[in-house]
Structure 1
């Protein structure tokens, strides 16, 4: 057992893992889903431009946000009384900015590579949290973990395997997007109990989705071509549900468990994204760089969490057994 925000919480790994793994599986499914939609467009002879990608993203996240707001308890009161600037910042970063980059990254690179590069969000959190919140600076162990993770990302980008597309451009876009997503997570942590996790996440997704629709407004004239295939409509609905469920669950978990504890489980997200892409996308296979890079990235995330745990113990903090298990 351990306490978080004055409440006793069981922090053992087998209590935390199911929720974290479910989030990872849901988020991971987005990569093969997006590549499948892009493949359908290619088969139909439709050549999307930037506005098409952003409009498609906007539809997904607007629906997801509205779904969350509908099942939230008194969301409008929470939004009215909550910290509006932090909510707006969360929307601009976690949804709008992150997925402005994300959808382009998946378009130009493979689903397996971009899935693995989702791990860079954890690295960004370690680097940005000290600047944007009261988190301590990275320790020596965490710096070593960041170097190992950076090496893993470099190798994965250098030799990602077949169907890689333009891996360097995809990597740059994905890393930039996850950086913005990390800022959104940090801002959500500052909101506290002023607004419920579902309402805050719903507002972030809906507002960010509307901004994506505005940015991609050029696609309105040929919107019918984007959603001509029923499979595209079904995938859009699925990804909307995935967004609503995964973001709400992860943000809810962040109200139950310390963020450093949850950060130790983020290695599941890139592994699920990469694995699901390799499993469901026929045109992709893993190169040696992707395989070695995945091992290094996963190892670095575990190293980072262990280093954090050791630092807390060394500082005399009350670290529960569940954080180390």
Structure 2
């Protein structure tokens, strides 16, 4: 089975998209653990950006060297540089600069709920960019149900304050940047290999994070032990594996068909935080998970039926 057959097959699509969401969801507890081990405070944005830069730079280099060892052609081509820089700046640099600064001015629950809007922005952008990926009634219903699940998952964390300030605006910018970056990566993957694209966009995007974080807090403010280094290594791995899976999913499928899988990220984040950080897991989280899965099924069901007719 070739890559296209796997990533377009309903089971392959589900495994890949949900797998990427699971990996990204696991980042929440491991980032918390890394901040605890490295003594990074919530208001130390420079250190947070620098650590994110370390993470994505290491992720990009891991992909590069692993696939070089596997004899894959990873040589940077001049014709791709502008596209790769654009993807890296939007998908990695801007997204995480806006995210970390915005989160420092917002509450955790509002940040988690706003993080769920990536799917919405991705589908809206795709509506205007692709004639065969318009927003329809089923997508709207699926989005509404899925986003309701994201809100439910986060409600047990505390009271939802309906305030909207600079923090929330920056978080929205982060989600728009992430959504647009995913679209740019999808377009770029039509002209270059996904693994090659993923490696270089993370390397190029991370350099800005390292520079900004380094200038504001020093380039080597952390003291790593084996445990904190292994956490950083895992965060780099999940970034690399998550982007490779997701970029392949985006390459071979309609944006509107797969975007709702991103709603699983905060759900997995809450569940894994409860397991790894001994946080309370409320029953309402599973109701939220059920709503997210229902939204995914609603959006994907017509396409599955059509495939069955064609076969």
In which range does the TM-score fall when normalised by the shorter chain?
0.7 to 0.9
Please state if 1:60 is matched with 2:59: no
Report if the CA contact (8 A) 2:264-2:292 is conserved: no
In structure 2, what is the equivalent of residue 124 of structure 1?
121
Gap change, CA 1:227 and 1:175, over 3 Å in 2: farther
Report if the CA contact (8 A) 1:152-1:294 is conserved: yes
In structure 2, what is the equivalent of residue 137 of structure 1?
134
Mapping of residues 40-79 of structure 1, within 5 Å: 40-41=37-38, 44=39, 48-70=43-65, 71=67, 73-77=72-76, 79=77
In structure 2, what is the equivalent of residue 80 of structure 1?
78
- Deviations along 1:44-79, whole A, 9 cap, x unmatched? 5967521111111001111111222232533334x4
Mapping of residues 251-262 of structure 1, within 5 Å: 251-262=247-258
Report if the CA contact (8 A) 1:227-1:233 is conserved: no
Report if the CA contact (8 A) 1:155-1:292 is conserved: yes
Please state if 1:148 is matched with 2:141: no
* Among candidates 183, 196, 207, match of residue 210 of structure 1: 207
Gap change, CA 1:162 and 1:154, over 3 Å in 2: closer
Distance 1:33 1:104 in 2: 19
Gap change, CA 1:48 and 1:116, over 3 Å in 2: closer
Length-normalised TM-score, structure 1: 0.75
Shift of 1:120: 2.7
For these two proteins, the number of residue pairs brought into alignment is: 304
Q: Which moved more, 1:227-236 or 1:92-101?
A: 227-236
Gap change, CA 1:18 and 1:156, over 3 Å in 2: closer
Gap change, CA 1:301 and 1:116, over 3 Å in 2: farther
SS at 1:160 equivalent: helix
Shift of 1:26: 1.8
Report if the CA contact (8 A) 2:146-2:263 is conserved: no
SS at 2:220 equivalent: helix
Length-normalised TM-score, structure 2: 0.78
